[in-house]
Structure 1
Amino acid sequence: MDQKLNNGKIFVEIPDFEHGNVPVSLAAKVMHKDVLFVRLGLQQGELPFGSAFVKEGSSQYDYYISPFLFWQYTGYVYRGDDCV
């Protein structure tokens, strides 16, 4: 591709994503980290692809990992039927 024709821009095709949530265990496997690394990273806001919420009346967290944001961060496309 001639970079001059595109003013140095690179165009990327965005894949289709499943609705829902990338499991924390799968995110950890893809990143070659342990589950605690991902959980603490989400709790502390250090990982930009998801959120951690404290359940009301509890000390337990719920985690959400966006398939799109996870793809942007890791390049991994979550299809919803991936093995954990």
Structure 2
Amino acid sequence: MKILPTEAARIMGVSPQFIRCGLQQNKFPFGVAVKMEKQWSYYINKKKFQEYVATSKLLTDAQDSQ
């Protein structure tokens, strides 16, 4: 199952462009961006995205408690 960059952006509190650029540059472990002629296509794996967000939240919470 996949989710859209706009939905991922809303959940992470960033812009859709941030998600798209990160995927294009292989910065995120939860999805890929593929350029087909002049247009980019994006795939975000829902399970991997949820794991990434949960891990990020745990790290943020741990840093906040120090």
TM-score in terms of structure 1 length: 0.61
- Larger radius of gyration, structure 1 or 2? 1
- Share of identical aligned residues, percent? 35
Q: Which runs of 5+ in 2 are unaligned?
A: 55-66
Q: Which runs of 5+ in 1 are unaligned?
A: 1-19, 76-84
Q: State the alpha-carbon separation in 1 of the partners of residues 46 and 2 from structure 2.
A: 6
1:28 paired residue among 9, 15, 26: 9
Q: State the alpha-carbon separation in 1 of the partners of residues 29 and 12 from structure 2.
A: 14
Count of matched residue positions in the alignment of Structure 1 and Structure 2: 54
Alignment root-mean-square deviation, CA: 0.8
Residue 35 of structure 1: how far off its partner (Å): 0.6
1:63 matched to 2:42: yes
Residue 21 of structure 1: how far off its partner (Å): 1.2
- Larger helix proportion, structure 1 or 2? 2
Query: Runs (4+) of structure 1 moved beyond 3 Å?
Result: none
